Amino acid sequence: MGDASSTSSANAHGSNLPQLHRYITGHNPEGKAIVHSHADFAWAPFDNDNLAFSVAYTTSKFPPNLNNDVDVAEYQETISSGKLGLVNPRGTVLRAVDFAPGYACGMHRTQSLDYGIVLEGNIDMVLDSGEVHPLKRGDVAVQRATQHQWVNKSKTEWARMIFVLQDCEPLTVGGEELKEDLGTNSGLPPSGN
């Protein structure tokens, strides 16, 4: 059962970080846990190969429907549509992001509650207030629909984070509704939430 199960030590986008592998579980007819499918993360490079995304999984509603693999079918449909923004409206997204040495993504905001975990390297979380917080392996950022950017200050090492993005209710601060703002260099479609 499953997708291609090859493993490689490097990623197609030029990072020297280890390839990641995803396992999706399910049940056999007797109700016992099995691996439904597995595959290496598929990476999409952005911004002249300085940034790479891999969506390991996404759901299109919350709570998701796991019966008869409905969630798996919705995941496959969403990915094949090519229309997934940073956030999946009414759902969740599990995404790994690799940042090249010296790279800073654009300042941006998603309409979502995000858990960002540093897996490899060090990365600065820069907020539009001017605050800068250095994060190291294992540190967690809980982004609550704020304007932010990620800066890999290392001149030689890639950094990797994994994010769980969850759609959220519209956020209003000071009477103004704060919406998604992808900045100028995302290259991604809007999330539509």
State residue 10's pLDDT score: 53
Q: Is the pLDDT of residue 98 over 70?
A: yes
Segment 154-179, tens digit of pLDDT: 999 999 999 999 999 999 999 999 99
Mind spelling out the 3-state secondary structure of the chain? CCCCCCCCCCCCCCCCCCCCEEEEEEECCCCCEEEEEEEECCCEEECCCCEEEEEEEEECCCCCCCHHHHHHHHHHHHHHHCCCCCCCCCCEEEEEEEECCCCECCCEECCEEEEEEEEECCEEEEECCCCEEEECCCCEEEEECCCEEEECCCCCCCEEEEEEEEECCCEEECCEEECCECCCCCCCCCCCC
State residue 135's pLDDT score: 98
Domains, the chain, with CATH or none: 52-178 (2.60.120.10)
State residue 13's pLDDT score: 81
Segment 20-35, tens digit of pLDDT: 999 999 999 999 999 9
Segment 61-86, tens digit of pLDDT: 999 999 999 999 999 999 999 999 99
